[in-house]
Amino acid sequence: MMADANKAYVGPIPSGKKIKIVFVIGGPGSGKGTQCSKIVNQFGYTHLSAGDLLREEVKSNTEQGTMIQNFMHEGKLVPSDVSVRLLLKAILASGNDKFLIDGFPRNEENREAYEKIINIDPEFVLLIDCSREEMERRILHRNQGRDDDNMDTIRRRFQVFQESTLPVIQHYEKMGKLRRVMWNLEYNMIKLYIVSTQ
């Protein structure tokens, strides 16, 4: 398992290269990907989804991909080193120097692995605050054909998010890096009024 994970490691970020990273955190179905697309269009960031990178690895039909698929089906988190090395590979392959990383870090183990392997302080952490009811409605109606979009798995993912991600949120809040945005349910849209990336 770890041997496969090491294959995703392609070397450190070149010395002297300035990389800007913004983490985007929110519960399952909170709209992270949608809002990242809007920020990419306006500010020129490259959007990296930890979840999408993992799903692409699943499609590769490797031993690591099968392992990732099993974790996803059970609503569990994939080992942190695997996620971080896939992120590093994508960063180095991009050619850009500004990245939105959504769905990461999901727990303290993710954060610690990131600091060990990549070790670039995020510019800030964008928390998309959305009610459980709204997230559930969005997941069940997004029709992306994902086999982990079923009610049992959704509820496990909610529980994992609540139990595991709160310490991460608190950590970055203490560092003064947390930016919180809220859904405006009246208009079914998100307010991005506190995003200041400049």
Domain boundaries, the chain: 30-190
Q: Which CATH class is domain 30-190?
A: alpha beta
User: Is the CA virtual torsion 109, 112, 115, 117 positive or negative?
Assistant: negative
- Euclidean distance between CA atoms 130 and 3, whole angstroms: 38
pTM for this entry? 0.74
- Residue 40: phi, psi to the nearest 5? -60, -45
| pLDDT (tens digit per residue) in 125-170 | 999 876 666 666 767 666 555 555 567 777 777 777 778 888 999 9
Instruction: Note the pLDDT tens digit of each residue in 22-78.
Output: 999 987 777 787 788 888 888 899 999 888 899 899 998 888 889 999 988 887 778
